[in-house]
Amino acid sequence: MSEKPLCAVARDEAGIVVVTMQDEAGSNALGAALVAELTARLAEIGADRQAKVCVLCGLPGVFCSGGDKKMLLDLAQGRTAAADIMVSRAVLEVPVPTIAAMEGHAVGGGLTLGLCCDLVLLARQSSYGCNFMNLGFTPGMGTIRLLELAVGPFVAAEMMYAGQFFRGSQLEGRSGVNYVLPREKVAWKARQLAQRIAEKPRHALELLKRALSTPKRQAFEEARTTESLMHEICFARPETAQLIEENYDEPLPASRPYRKME
């Protein structure tokens, strides 16, 4: 029997493609295997001329829990360069509209991954936050600009400086995301939006996506340059690896929230 893929892909005749990150054992942490598989699936969608819209989903309890411990330690110990982790760019470069159905918790780079999408839906009961500084290093994956675009500079600053998590209900009316809904309605609303988008011709969707996504892609590239410089300094310090070892919460079952979110 073949192993269960970390990313499941479902297509329909209307051109809706749903990509579901489903690494239950790792609570959808961004390890090398999940990053590679997700990047490959997104590239396939871009090349699929029948695809008109992509919905990115996670587990019901956890959308994505950010970088896994091994990846973070590899960064801190110089075995991997932060600039090599380009899954954010893979989402941004999908040529058709993308929808993040973030019904579960999203942490650090996992939150940024969702914010790379064109439309973003959060759940009132779930928690969203940036824990980079809790682990001793500055944000990455384009977070410093993409988070500002999503929730405004002041809320973004609190989330980044303090490692602060917010329930979706706390962000309702304070952010620029599309919807903050009860958890059980997030997937339904994402599907409804996807159906409306899929009614449009692919060539027109591509043209509009290219135009509307330009500011976000430019913000990402600007952020990556600044983040790379900060990472060089942070990861060169020996205490960074120690802080990751001490403060990283091992992945919990996807049905449970993270301790620091409670």
The predicted model gives 7-34 an average pLDDT of 95
Q: Are 96 and 61 in contact (CB under 8 A)?
A: no
pLDDT of the residue at 194: 98
Is it the case that residue 57 has pLDDT exceeding 80? yes
> Stretch 187-193: mean pLDDT, rounded?
98
What is the percent of the chain where pLDDT is above 70? Answer: 92
Q: What is the pTM of this model?
A: 0.91
99-259-145 Cα angle (round to 5): 40
Q: Where in the chain are the domains?
A: 7-183+211-261
pLDDT tens profile 231-245? 999 998 989 999 999
Strand segments (E) across the chain: 7-11, 16-21, 53-57, 62-64, 98-102, 105-107, 119-123, 127-129, 165-167, 179-181
Q: Which of 106, 109, 231, 258 is catalytic?
A: 231
The reported pLDDT for the residue numbered 83 is 53
Given a cut of 50, is residue 250 above it in pLDDT?
A: no
Q: What would the pLDDT profile of 100-133 be if each residue is shown by its tens digit?
A: 999 999 999 999 999 999 999 999 999 999 999 9
pLDDT at residue 258, rounded to an integer: 38
Q: Which CATH architecture has domain 7-183+211-261?
A: Alpha-Beta Complex (3.90)
pLDDT at 251 exceeding the cut of 50: no
Question: 231 catalytic, yes or no?
Answer: yes
